């Protein structure tokens, strides 16, 4: 069985390095993996990402931002995610549509129902099998971002914006709890990686239940 796994959460939770660690671990378990990320993930998607992330684009309307993320995602799915899932690979994406719902929906306060409808169109209904939420307090996330020099246009939004994003993620997780695993991203890299591996292996190779015996 192959899975479509996404990593989500506020900035600075270490998603990218955790995703790499997970991919490495699964490959060592002889599971074929494709690791990808949003925004971007395909050559056309990367060009759209550059427009979104450019620090000089301070006049970007929130709707434009949402539609660009969605456009990039549609391409990412068509070119990368769907073909690899169909070929039997487990696909790990560092961010996916929940980022748009959290940042543009809760953060920018665009209407969630409309965003969900557009998302459904952009993704043609593709939903992750498992979403790992790397949750941490906003101040800690932003402190880490500044420390590692990865500051981008999104990070420059005010602290209340980032608080709404975090709360948004927790609300989204509560709406479909069977898809989400919430993890504390304040713990050490190794401890968090361990929890991620366990959560993924529990889905990939579920323990036999009594009725299977
Ligand atoms: P990036 O530096 O690529 O990733 P990360 O923060 O995960 O290291 O920046 C992506 C930024 O874009 C991040 O602040 C979240 C934001 N974002 C959205 O606002 N909406 C989206 O749909 C996606 C995919 C990302």
Give, for 65, the enclosing helix (H) or strand (E): helix 62-76
pLDDT value at 71 more than 80: yes
pLDDT value at 47 more than 70: yes
CA of 94 to the centre of ligand 1 (A): 9
CA of 48 to the centre of ligand 1 (A): 13
Which of 103, 106, 165 for mutating ligand 1's site (highest number of atoms within 8 Å of CB)?
103
CA of 39 to the centre of ligand 1 (A): 6
> Which atom of ligand 1 sits closest to the CA of residue 155?
14
Mean predicted confidence (pLDDT) in 121-148: 92
> pLDDT (tens digit, 9 = 90+) per residue, 169-199?
999 999 999 999 999 999 999 999 999 999 9
Cβ distance 141 to 15 under 8 Å?
no
Write the residue with the smallest CA distance to atom 5 of ligand 1.
11
Question: pLDDT value at position 117?
Answer: 98
- How is domain 4-205 classified at the architecture level of CATH? 3-Layer(aba) Sandwich (3.40)
> pLDDT (tens digit, 9 = 90+) per residue, 3-44?
999 999 998 889 999 999 999 999 999 999 999 999 988 999
> Which atom of ligand 1 sits closest to the CA of residue 154?
14
Task: Provide the edge-to-edge strand list for the sheet that holds 130-135.
Answer: 33-37, 90-94, 4-8, 130-135, 180-184
Q: Which residue has the tokens 């992750």?
A: 128
> Which atom of ligand 1 sits closest to the CA of residue 150?
2
Q: Assign 184 to helix, strand or coil.
A: strand
Q: What residues does each domain of the chain span?
A: 4-205
C-beta atoms surrounding 97 within 10 Å: 27
CA of 138 to the centre of ligand 1 (A): 15
CA of 91 to the centre of ligand 1 (A): 18
Write the residue with the smallest CA distance to atom 23 of ligand 1.
99
């Amino acid at each position: 069985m192959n899975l479509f796994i996404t990593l989500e959460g506020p900035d600075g939770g270490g998603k990218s390095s955790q995703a790499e660690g997970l991919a490495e671990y699964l490959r060592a378990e002889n599971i074929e993996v494709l690791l990808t990320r949003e925004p971007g993930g395909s050559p056309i998607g990367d060009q759209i990402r550059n427009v979104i992330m450019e620090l000089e684009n301070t006049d970007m309307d929130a709707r434009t931002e949402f539609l660009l993320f969605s456009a990039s995602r549609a391409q990412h799915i068509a070119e990368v995610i769907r073909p690899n899932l169909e070929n039997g690979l487990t696909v790990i994406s560092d961010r996916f549509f929940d980022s748009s719902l959290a940042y543009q929906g809760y953060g920018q306060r665009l209407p969630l129902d409309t965003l969900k409808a557009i998302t459904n169109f952009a993704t043609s209904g593709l939903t992750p099998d498992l979403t790992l939420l790397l949750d941490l307090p906003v101040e800690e996330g932003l402190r880490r971002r500044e420390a590692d020099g990865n500051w981008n246009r999104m990070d420059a939004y005010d602290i209340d914006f980032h608080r709404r994003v975090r709360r948004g993620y927790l609300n989204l997780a509560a709406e479909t709890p069977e898809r989400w695993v919430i993890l504390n991203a304040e713990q050490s890299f190794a401890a968090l990686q361990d929890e991620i591996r366990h959560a993924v292996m529990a889905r990939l190779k579920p323990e036999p239940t009594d009725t299977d015996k």
